[in-house]
């Protein structure tokens, strides 16, 4: 049963977890719930995730968006070069700081495909934990991917202990550096992936036309990251891929960009038979020390 196997996995790694309410240690009871010393209890959902939010939040991201991201990542393989490079960076780092079972946290994991690809193809035995505010995203991740731990939680209050994670991934998602520093281990590595100026530029042009909104810079995000992690290395990864119609439609569904598109341009784009798209991403690689 999915719920029980997920609970078993959490039980194995319960030392990583902390109560989001009182910060005490957590235990797994009857392969059903996670409970802390003060009896704060969080149940496993039947899909195998745990909702550890302490307040209710509304997410802009819905099921259709996550389903489209899943297709684009797992079937179109749009981010394959990114995954490969991330794996190399992690592999090189783990060689220097060998750990038995390094823990990797995907902060803002969405529907979990990036983390899964990276864990699956890595030569190291990694234990993955995916955290996202969106229940839809985490539910999808937990039902599809059984080798990682999936938690609905806020990056402002990540229910894991101090200094426990060797790697944090933060792909196209907001960051909380105070929390990231808290949970990273001594020689921990953080990889934040942010769009470069040409990321999805063809889609951006279709949405905003020639208006000024289409120019985008990540300078502010990069300088904030540098303030928090001065030992930073920035790598750019740029490539293009031609998408077939169904893939283009998924791309439109998966990107918050198309929330601002007008109906006419949307229809025009929707009916294109194929479409070339640019991926331009910066990988900000920081070290705890």
Ligand X SMILES: C[S@@+](CC[C@H](N)C(=O)[O-])C[C@H]1O[C@@H](n2cnc3c(N)ncnc32)[C@H](O)[C@@H]1O
Pure H helices in the chain: 2-12, 63-74, 80-96, 113-121, 135-144, 177-183, 201-208, 219-228, 245-254, 263-270
Q: Decide if 158 contacts 243 (C-beta within 8 A).
A: no
Among the listed residues 6, 10, 16, 19, the single contact to Zn ion using CB under 5 A: 19
SS3 28: strand
Partner interacting with residue 61 (select from Zn ion, ligand X, none; CB below 5-8 Å by kind): ligand X
Q: Counting contacts by CB under 5 A, is residue 36 touching Zn ion?
A: yes
**Span interacting with ligand X, options 27-35, 165-173, 217-225, 261-269, rule CB under 6 A:** 165-173
Q: Decide if 203 contacts 257 (C-beta within 8 A).
A: yes
Q: Counting contacts by CB under 6 A, is residue 18 touching ligand X?
A: no
What is the distance between the alpha carbons of residues 136 and 93, in angstroms, rounded to a whole number? Answer: 33
User: Between residues 19 and 171, which has the closer beta carbon with respect to ligand X?
Assistant: 171
Least Å from the CB of residue 251 to Zn ion = 42
User: Between residues 97 and 182, which has the closer beta carbon with respect to ligand X?
Assistant: 182
**Span interacting with Zn ion, options 32-40, 79-87, 130-138, 211-219, rule CB under 5 A:** 32-40
Q: Counting contacts by CB under 5 A, is residue 21 touching Zn ion?
A: yes
- 201 closest CA partner among 211, 179, 216: 216
Task: List C-alpha distances in Å: 222 to 177, 188, 283.
Answer: 13, 19, 10
Least Å from the CB of residue 105 to ligand X = 11
Among the listed residues 103, 155, 168, 283, the single contact to ligand X using CB under 6 A: 155
Among the listed residues 82, 171, 184, 279, the single contact to ligand X using CB under 6 A: 171
Query: Residue 72: CB partners within 8 Å, gap ≥ 6?
Result: 78, 79, 247, 250, 251, 254
Partner interacting with residue 172 (select from ligand X, Zn ion, none; CB below 5-8 Å by kind): ligand X
What is the distance between the alpha carbons of residues 226 and 219, in angstroms, rounded to a whole number? Answer: 11
Q: Counting contacts by CB under 5 A, is residue 89 touching Zn ion?
A: no
Least Å from the CB of residue 105 to Zn ion = 20
Among the listed residues 8, 27, 32, 38, the single contact to Zn ion using CB under 5 A: 38
Binding positions for ligand X, 61-80, rule CB under 6 A: 61, 69
Task: State the angle between helix axes of 245-254 and 263-270 in degrees (0 to 180), rounded to the nearest 10.
Answer: 140
Strands of 184-195's sheet, edge to edge? 50-51, 149-152, 127-132, 103-107, 165-171, 184-195, 274-287, 232-244
**Span interacting with ligand X, options 149-157, 179-187, 206-214, 224-232, rule CB under 6 A:** 149-157
**Span interacting with Zn ion, options 18-26, 96-104, 201-209, 211-219, rule CB under 5 A:** 18-26
What is the distance between the alpha carbons of residues 270 and 234, in angstroms, rounded to a whole number? Answer: 35
Least Å from the CB of residue 208 to ligand X = 18
Q: Counting contacts by CB under 6 A, is residue 245 touching ligand X?
A: no
Residues at the contact surface with Zn ion, assessed by CB under 5 A:
19, 21-22, 36, 38, 40
Contact footprint for ligand X (CB under 6 A) = 59, 61, 69, 108-110, 114, 132-134, 137, 154-156, 171-174
């Amino acid at each position: 049963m999915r719920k029980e196997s997920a609970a078993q996995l959490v039980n194995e790694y319960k030392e990583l977890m902390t109560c989001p309410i009182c910060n005490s240690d957590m235990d797994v009871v009857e392969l059903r719930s996670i409970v802390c010393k003060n009896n704060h209890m969080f149940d496993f959902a039947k899909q195998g995730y745990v909702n550890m939010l302490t307040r209710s939040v509304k997410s802009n991201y819905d099921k259709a968006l996550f389903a489209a991201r899943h297709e684009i990542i797992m079937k179109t393989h749009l981010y394959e070069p990114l995954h490969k490079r991330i794996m190399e960076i992690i592999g090189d780092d783990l060689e220097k700081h060998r750990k038995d079972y390094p823990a990797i946290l995907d902060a803002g994991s969405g529907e979990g495909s990036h983390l899964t690809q990276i864990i699956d193809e890595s030569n190291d035995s990694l234990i993955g934990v995916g955290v996202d505010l969106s229940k839809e995203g985490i539910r999808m991740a937990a039902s599809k991917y059984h080798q990682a731990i999936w938690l609905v939680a806020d990056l402002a209050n990540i229910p894991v202990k101090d200094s426990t994670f060797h790697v944090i991934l933060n792909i196209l998602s907001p960051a909380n550096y105070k929390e990231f520093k808290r949970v990273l281990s001594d020689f921990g590595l953080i990889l934040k992936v942010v769009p470069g100026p040409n990321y999805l530029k063809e889609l951006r042009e279709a949405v905003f036309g020639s208006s000024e909104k289409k120019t985008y810079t990540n300078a502010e995000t990069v300088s904030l990251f540098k303030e928090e992690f001065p030992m930073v290395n920035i790598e750019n990864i740029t490539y293009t891929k031609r998408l077939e119609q169904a893939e283009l439609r998924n791309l439109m569904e998966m990107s918050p960009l198309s929330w601002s598109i007008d109906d006419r341009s949307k229809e025009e784009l929707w009916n294109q038979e194929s479409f070339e798209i640019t991926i331009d991403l910066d990988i900000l690689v920081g070290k705890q020390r």
